[in-house]
Structure 1
Amino acid sequence: MQPHSIKAIAHLFHSATGIDTTAFDRAGQRIASVDNTPPTTGIINPLEMSSLINKLATAKAADCFHYVTTTKLEYLAANLISNAQMTGIVIVGPFLTAALTPDDLNAILINQSLTVSDSHYLKQFYQGLPMLSTEKMAALGSLLVNLCHQPPISPTLVEVHDHQQVAVSRPVTSIHAASQAAIEKRYEEEQALMAAIAAGDKTGVKQQFAAIAKITDLFSSRIPGQPLRSTKNICFVYNTLCRIAAHRGGVQPVYLNDISEKYALLIERQTTLAGLRTLTATMALEYCELVIAVSTSGYQPMIKRTIDTILLNLGHAMSLSQLANQVGTNPSYLSRKFSEEVGMSVTDYMNRRRISEAKKYLARPTLSITEIAFMTGFNNVPYFIKVFKKLVGKTPLHYRNEVGQGKD
């Protein structure tokens, strides 16, 4: 099979499925690639690639391999066949067939030597991957094998236009006073929800749950005969409204992108109207909690930038000088202004945030105390234990035992 045919197969498969597609020759050299996945996240390493090529070398012509990497990424792979001979392989992915648990993501963080600073990007990456059912994966495998067995045929596009127009009568819609009042009330409720999220007011958000449920019910008939699709569409709108509200409330865009992507995928995966109603309420509350946790709206611009930098790099060692350089000032001035506005030193603020993250991980038995210390930005375990005991009143091990999740 000629290189131009191989490239055509890769482009055709990607256009039809939206999943990254890459073709290699028998030696593992890349021939063609159509992908959207960032090159630094989760690409099969050379050893894994070599192992996969060796397995395919002895495979039957109709075999399609379902390959799962050590980082839980999934791929489909099949041989390129020309004149009954293997000329290369095509790999499709990454994708997932099951959502990753928090413990799965924690294990990947540790195995890839990442820190808590990278957890948002890692979650966002995995949440953005296509989610395939077993049936969908089998269908794509069949399509892949068939494409790999013969060069694609370039179609001849034949234009057909129907010039006969049929007049469609359009009724004039009148807006009654009751309808107008209902519409205006709906917009008022939306504004109240956004204001509550921006203020980090969980009570205010909960007061809008009934209104949210009413709107999802109202919009379920927007697309005739497709209540689930109609409701998903309005849920996407609410996701956008919540994101805008949280941004107004002072949340850094990186966090917003993470949660927005997550709920966009969760909405699309829902299969019931009841599930969508529950998800929409949960979504509004989580955006509100994000404002409470990471909002920097109450600070002056320099302190806001400093806190954003700390939160986005929490898993890495940061000195006062490095922070000052990031925000364009000198260390002594930053230290003084930070203490005045925040009420504590830069170091104390960083330690409190790191310990807060550490407590979340200590509640799970899969990570050791040593791993948690380094993940959350502490350079040595004794210092981590000292700071933890000072702020929490007990050692990390004592805290873990109290929450009943095992021992280190």
Structure 2
Amino acid sequence: MNEETLEILQMHALQLLGIRLESYESNNIKGIGNCIRTPFTRTTSKQYKDELKHFLKYMNSNKIYHYKNQFGVNFLMFKFKKYKQIYIIGPFIEKRPNERRCYEIMKELNIDYGQFSILKQYLLKIPLCHKLKAQKMCRLAIQFLKKRNNIYDIVKIDFHFHIKKENIASNQVQMDYTLEDIEYRYKLENQLLTAVEYGNVDEAIATFHMMSVSLVGLSRVKDDLSNERYKAYLINTLCRKAIEKVGVSLLQIDEISTSFASRIDQAKDIVTLDELMASTIIAYSELAMKAKSNDFSPKLSKAIQYIERNLNSVLTLNKLAEHVELAPSYLSRIFNQELHKSISQYITELRIEKGRDLLVRTNMTIAEVACYVGFREQSYFSQCFKKQYGKSPLKFRTEHKVFY
């Protein structure tokens, strides 16, 4: 399976429709279950596990399955038998229910009315998308992932996780679900800070689109345009704080911040504000990258920018040399001359530095941080981290965590 193709499809789903496309091993009951669960799903119940396991086992790889839960939230699923993968598009909702309908649903499902705020938060975070557009995205994914032009039938399926009162999650589980959702949003904000600070435009934009999905229905004010304007101000503030650490002149920071604030004030519609938020992220990221590479020769600056944009990928001397159009030996020599260290040493130190920032800004596990910054093994990441900072990642996080 082509991972690059999947990433492109995932980005298209996020950017064009505002919905997610996720991939799971077909035996990953927990991951798939977490994807389709609600705050009220008791995932520990035997019925839940058995029903999901039975469905996954007998999925037809030539069908698209449409699951619509009791709250009107939709998921499209298909199976790639050859690679033992299950793909899920969603969640999405075609129309948000009003408060009256929410109370009706709660009554039908024997959910206590006191949990209305949890249901409301759950439904507000679900992206709006017409089912036909989601189906087109699903067929596009099948075409490119399976390399087939077959038109699969869409089969409606149902589960019965909420039918009986004993299958409803406890109040504590419902609260934990809500807390996880809040933690996820803050994690994305801090990943955006780190990406902008390191001048990684692609990563920053990808994180921004994920943030847009997670914040899709959350409102600070009732007017949609004002709410979007609030988000744009938030992005401007986050980006401004991110590049302060890089050494960008405060005058430059103030100039770019004031400029975007003025453009946000003047925006008349949501589309313009969405475009402004993306432009804000790109401008700040590029300013950070420029500030970090000003002291180096053009070729070395270009190599450094490539490294910082691709830290989580496999980076080789030959690949870098090809990118900057220099002989590998010459590129290696100018690295040593200008930075007084080898390319591999520079890459490792930069990965550890970025990992350090993620440790203190997010609640990502050490294994997740290691993978995110390009280490294949957590143990090697920890070894390099201790060598660079004199203490283990866990101890460093305990002593320095300030943002999360």
Q: TM-score range by the shorter chain?
A: 0.3 to 0.5
- Point out the structure with the larger helix share: 2
Q: Which of the pair has more CA radius of gyration?
A: 1
Please give the TM-score of this superposition, normalised by the length of structure 2.
Answer: 0.43
> TM-score scaled to structure 1, two decimals?
0.43
